[in-house]
Structure 1
């Protein structure tokens, strides 16, 4: 025969409540461990990042790096200036190469044709010809210069455009000679 226990309902409900309370307690403990672990990891990560920032700032403020950056900026400025001058020289070179008929030997021949005590102040060169302006002590030297230039094969036509007496007391003449380059 079986005994009937009238208090079994209360004992079973107490066991169920204890089991339910244990599940809630375990859930709370696990949650605290998870959130505590995440918070600890986040604080460790923040400290490591702050340390990395401090190390980077020390490196950026170091005298060697500042000197290298200053030197690099100076080199960049020098490079910009050199590029600017290179472009200017390149433009001049392009202009000289566009004047196909004039070579350095033409300028040498002009120098050979000049009499003594004559000097050129301006030598203007373009595609069509050469304009020379200079000074001399007498008119005969200017005529001799014109004659010598006419004998050079590089010039198709040579003529004296103007002769001005700079000072009546001193025999100093300013002259301008135009010459057309021979296309051959």
Structure 2
């Protein structure tokens, strides 16, 4: 028979043994769980992306969507043409401004040369000539105005073409030829 020793658990040291097979089974179990979970996650992600692709394909092949896309393309083409035309217009505007003979300063000079009792009714510019039509109280003011305008350097020739009296006033036509205008202003620009 065997003797019972109540102090044996305290005397002997317990040793904990790792069971290698058990650890391998636990690792295998977690690996299989991880692979299955990752596969399920990928499956649902792929299904979601496929449904998203189907939805977007349906939208892109819808006749209303195609019609709107074509309309937008036409508007983009029109916008491109419009931008090109605006660029051309800006270029032409710069050319016109560079060749502009009549500017604000020249108009102020005309205004400064006008006598007090004179009124201009028409001021037109065509082919390098200015035509001024106005009303004055006397002929002397018209002659003084024409003389003052002939002193402006930009004017080549000042000519009073017509003076007529209506009641107490004189109507007059004044023609001015401008300098630095070649070929009647009709030269084509490229």
TM class by smaller structure: 0.3 to 0.5
TM-score by length of 2: 0.46
**TM-score normalised to structure 1 length:** 0.48
Q: Which has the higher helix share?
A: 1
